[in-house]
Chain A
Amino acid sequence: NAGVTQTPKFQVLKTGQSMTLQCAQDMNHEYMSWYRQDPGMGLRLIHYSVGAGITDQGEVPNGYNVSRSTTEDFPLRLLSAAPSQTSVYFCASSQNFLSDRGKETQYFGPGTRLLVL
């Protein structure tokens, strides 16, 4: 198993550009999520999905879109990049987060470091 994979590892964007961060998992996990990690702060949830076709907003969703057309993939789209979106982005998955109310281990991807100029 590759686990959770993310591409690209590093990206530089100009303000106003759009891009998609890719996330895929091969563990047949139902729950997938995107976090951003900024210095001095905890991981903050952007969007999450409890299964194919179902997505919902997390703590900091503005400026980001997601979709979940398959169980395996959960791309994160930046619609119009802003310097405030400079961050490290992590994708995570778990077997079935909701069925066992928060007891599921999250498996993280390697992260995407994004710099918006």
Chain B
Amino acid sequence: ILNVEQSPQSLHVQEGDSTNFTCSFPSSNFYALHWYRWETAKSPEALFVMTLNGDEKKKGRISATLNTKEGYSYLYIKGSQPEDSATYLCAFDSNYQLIWGAGTKLIIKP
């Protein structure tokens, strides 16, 4: 059974601090790794799709890296702001289905 693990489950960060969290996935038969941002009472929204080992993607203060050989991706948030509070999901493509992690819930303390 393929599994996608995200750590930590939740994270409290002071406003202005930078933070990062991890997504671990099977390293074999890799096609793509997705990151989504999910705000409370809204729908998940895509942040990044990463396909190549060593990929780095950036959107504003948020960036992500990908290591397909060891099966992990990091999501970084620089200078956290209250609007960054959300659950961050990663998903791994397997056999034409996306396998999702349980998410990292990020709470920014003012």
A-to-B contact residues, CB < 8 Å: 4, 35, 40-45, 48, 58-59, 90, 97-98, 101-111
B42 touches A110 (CB 8 A): yes
Q: Given A102-B32, A103-B31, does the pair A108, B44 have CB atoms closer than 8 Å? A: yes
In the complex, are the beta carbons of B4 and A42 less than 8 A apart? yes
A101–B96 Cα distance when bound, in Å, is: 7
Cα-based distance from A109 to B100 in the complex (angstroms): 17
Q: Which of A42, A98, A108 contacts B96 (CB 8 A)?
A: A98
24 pairs of residues in contact across A and B, judged by CB atoms under 8 Å = A40-B9, A40-B102, A41-B102, A42-B89, A42-B99, A42-B100, A43-B91, A43-B98, A43-B100, A44-B100, A48-B97, A58-B97, A59-B97, A98-B96, A101-B31, A101-B96, A102-B31, A102-B34, A102-B93, A102-B96, A103-B31, A105-B46, A108-B45, A111-B43
| B49 part of interface (Cβ distance < 8 Å) | yes
Chain A residue contacts of B89, Cβ below 8 A = 42-43
Q: How far apart sit A27 and B49, CA to CA, in the bound complex (Å)?
A: 20
Q: Check B103–A103 contact: CB distance below 8 A.
A: no
B98 A108 Cβ-Cβ under 8 A: no
A43 and B93 alpha carbons, distance in the complex (Å): 13
Most chain-B Cβ atoms within 10 A of its Cβ — which of A48, A106, A110?
A106
